[in-house]
Structure 1
Amino acid sequence: MQIIDGIEISDVEAKKIMEDRKKQGDMTYEQKICFEFLEKSVKMTQAQFNDLVDELKKIAILKPRYIALIINMMPDTEEEVEALFNKERTNLKKEEIKQIVDIIKQFKK
């Protein structure tokens, strides 16, 4: 197996890729472990994922890698959002942080 691209993706996207890989045939040991983990941990459907991405894209400062990070962690509080972005070069405003939390809460219902 070779690395084709080095982009960051969400767990939902990774699960879809692994499902497609499983349909192609035998998986390596590492791929099986990864797929089993994603099967247990990813609770969101592809449609829910697409809707969530669309909502988060409305926040102009969020790049695709930040959106993937937010979706993977699904933060419940403003403090959790701040913790996700502590080491990033992006400075989110309080309104943007609150908006992220509100969007996530809609999708956790």
Structure 2
Amino acid sequence: MLFGGRAKDLPYPGSTTVSTINGGVMGLTHTLALELAPMRVNAIHPGIIGDSPFWAGKPAGVLEGYENHTPGGKLATMQDVVETTRFLLDNRGISGQHLYVDRGSALI
């Protein structure tokens, strides 16, 4: 299991390093899934995780701005990431895939 992030899709000023690394996780996932088969390799790309230590202490206005960019008006949670990880670990029919845990923020 690899972890990337959404900065590869939604770069921001100062994100050159993290955006590049996140993009590399995509390629690494694909090549490792082929090279390590039958071992499965997948990646999770979280967006803003509202209850993570980094974001939980932000002023309410900051989080509200991001929440407005999700279809349901809520940010993804740490539990969402845990459940996605469990799903990929348990489901033997998935390999070489990328799952985004962002509650649809890229849609808006």
TM-score bin (small chain): 0.3 to 0.5
Structure 2 length-normalised TM:
0.33
Q: Which of the two has greater strand per residue?
A: 2
The structure where helix makes up a greater share of residues is: 1
Select the structure of larger CA radius of gyration. Answer: 1
